[in-house]
Structure 1
Amino acid sequence: MKKINLAVVGASGMVGRTFLKVLEDRDFPFDNLYCFASKRSAGQKVTCKGKEYTIEELTPESFDRDIDIALFSAGGDTSKTFAPIAASKGVIVVDNSSAWRMDTTVPLVVPEVNPEALADHNNIIANPNCSTIQAVVALKPLYDAYGIKRIVYSTYQAVSGSGVKGYKDLEEGLKGNDLMACYPHPIAGNCLPHIDVFLENGYTKEEMKMVNETRKILNDQSLKITATTVRVPVFYSHSESVNVEFEKDFKDIAEIKTLLANANGVILQDDPENNVYPLAKEATGTDPVYVGRIRRDESLDSGINLWVVADNIRKGAATNAVQIAETLIQNM
């Protein structure tokens, strides 16, 4: 694989530091690595592949050097400002914020699902929402085999999806201190059916992200999708109950399990008699999407239920972005 010059924007944050860990774990081939963040974080030290790097303040001039790909995870406002600057200077931006996901000129990519979308970009590529990424990895082989009419998402999302503040709310709550710096209610010992802001239709922004992003990634605007997203007192890894209604029927559940067992990026964990099914605790720190509790939906002519779990900071953010970069450099 060709070696490139790489930048990480937002290198001091939770996802930014995980970018560096994933680059090391996957032995990503770079010659030079530049780390950027806000003025407040400038001067901090980070390490990758045994080498120490000093975080620089992100400015419009940051990209006036030989950078091939920049991994962004510094928030939507920063991406809106700096991604076009980087792109104008020939840098390919892989952006982890929500800023570009629904832009019709920007591909929204999960490499196991729609790598072909990378053929057409204007130097900005969007990384999907964490909860959407793991869902579509599991759904893609089923969509290809049977077609999908309708999806019902119910998610159980870890506090790390809210960043450092969400993590701290749970950490303090478990000590008996209801910090509520991030959430409107205590998260310890609680479930909050409220992720992101509420919209006029009664859904939250997170729920509509899952609806719209799934349609875009699968390139099917006809899909009927509904979602309820819930924040739960777990530090890492999102869990999802996914109900799927197919266009055409399948023979038996064994057929579904075989498809998923052979799917790229999926690990099948489905032996309920021996208490084997995906668990957030076991998914944490890993890159695959785990699928289990597969069973026919007996209320439909052709439907199934799935339980889907993945590390939201790795596969749901950093790893997916690095995989996009790996796919790009294969074609450079």
Structure 2
Amino acid sequence: MGYRIVVAGATGNVGREMLNILAERQFPADEVVALASRKSLGTQVSFGDETLKTKDLDTFDFTGFDIALFAIGSDATKIYAPKAAKAGCVVIDNSSLYRYDPDVPLIVPEVNPDAIEGYSKKNIIANPNCSTAQMVVALKPLHDRAKIKRVVVSTYQSVSGAGKEGIDELWDQTKSIYNPTDNKPAKKFTKQIAFNVIPHIDVFMEDGSTKEEWKMVAETKKIVDPKIKVTATCVRVPVFVGHSEAINIETEEHLDEDEARDILRVSPGIMVVDKREDGGYVTPIECVGDFATFISRIRQDSTIDNGLNLWCVSDNLRKGAALNAVQIAELLGNRILKKG
């Protein structure tokens, strides 16, 4: 007997990816229902070899369903997640709404699987921010070995992190560069994204950081260790899919770069590609469609006693969103719900 699964926001980039990954990983589902807003009602989406017609999220009854994967944004989640949870359906939410709620576990299965035991307080589990998810997969095994004190991270985040509008804007602006009469001003982003980089993701906060940067700090503390100090600079780059991060780590104990490389090679969810030669590293375009978080450029930081640098790349629509949500569903099924 399998699970009855709901995917809310099934017509969006992340929702479609959730359906793809559920099928790819052969999630034990007896029934999968695709939900969308009324403006997308009846739209057909793919689930493996099947085609699903979307149903109305507003009128849907979650009673009898086991797990709902939400990819509908915070405003809609605030309305529908409590309804699903009250009906006995466990919500795995991709928005930021519940990430900082002390009664809602924030889960990356390779990092803090035991935290899932706290799901029953609200029947809701939060999925972390895309930039945080891939970083903590890399940090956790190193933290277990040498205890990380401080992290300095600069991100290079693709436009798909801003949804379909971000992808469309990069595409349209890139084409317009070669056609001067077809000017495409910035709408989704604050400045031109084509052939440019923008050091601004989400809103500015009082201390000068952006909310995206704040998320990386707060979520790393909640998922890995509240004592870790984190400072981030988050940058939008003209890449369609795949987030990259340059991460500098300071540990309490000395950790040799060779040992760090060996630790990461055997850690779950990680693929190390680290050759000191032309092309001996992974770039965003190479990670698209893959489940792994790729680590390259592992090297000692000689400016501090116990420092390491590394390069981290992952498909943000997968590990940063849809894949992590499905992995949480798998963890929930194996540990809690346990249908035979």
Could you tell me how far 1:310 is from its partner in structure 2?
A: 0.1
Report the identity percentage: 48
Could you tell me how far 1:89 is from its partner in structure 2?
A: 0.7
Could you tell me how far 1:161 is from its partner in structure 2?
A: 0.2
SS state at 2:188 partner: coil
Letter in 2 for 1:151: V
**1:89-104 equivalent positions in 2, closer than 5 A:** 89-104=87-102
**1:155-174 equivalent positions in 2, closer than 5 A:** 155-174=155-174
Structure 1 segments (4+ residues) deviating >4 Å: none
Residues 243-263 of structure 1 deviation map (CA, whole Å, 9 limit, x = unaligned):
00001112x311110000010
Segments of structure 2 that go 5 or more residues without pairing to the other structure are 177-182
Could you tell me how far 1:275 is from its partner in structure 2?
A: 2.6
2:254 to 249, 252, 256: 249
Provide TM-score, normalisation by structure 1: 0.97
Could you tell me how far 1:64 is from its partner in structure 2?
A: 4.2
Instruction: Return the alpha-carbon distance in structure 2 between the equivalents of residues 64 and 238 of structure 1.
Output: 34
- Is structure 2 residue 147 aligned with structure 1 residue 143? no
1:80 is aligned to 78
CA contact (8 A) 1:154 1:229 kept: yes
2:298 to 275, 294, 298: 294
1:195 to 196, 201, 210: 201
CA contact (8 A) 1:148 1:247 kept: yes
Instruction: Return the alpha-carbon distance in structure 1 between the equivalents of residues 61 and 124 of structure 2.
Output: 14
Segments of structure 1 that go 5 or more residues without pairing to the other structure are none
Residues 8-31 of structure 1 deviation map (CA, whole Å, 9 limit, x = unaligned):
000011100111111111111101
2:11 is aligned to 12
- Is structure 2 residue 35 aligned with structure 1 residue 36? yes
CA RMSD of aligned residues (A): 1.0
Could you tell me how far 1:5 is from its partner in structure 2?
A: 0.2
CA contact (8 A) 2:149 2:252 kept: yes
Letter in 1 for 2:42: G
1:320 is aligned to 324
CA contact (8 A) 1:6 1:70 kept: yes
CA contact (8 A) 1:172 1:179 kept: no
Could you tell me how far 1:51 is from its partner in structure 2?
A: 1.5
Provide TM-score, normalisation by structure 2: 0.95
Letter in 1 for 2:218: N
CA contact (8 A) 1:159 1:166 kept: yes
Instruction: Return the alpha-carbon distance in structure 2 between the equivalents of residues 159 and 49 of structure 1.
Output: 26
SS state at 1:8 partner: strand
2:118 is aligned to 120
Could you tell me how far 1:274 is from its partner in structure 2?
A: 4.4
1:205 is aligned to 211
Could you tell me how far 1:80 is from its partner in structure 2?
A: 1.1
Could you tell me how far 1:53 is from its partner in structure 2?
A: 1.2
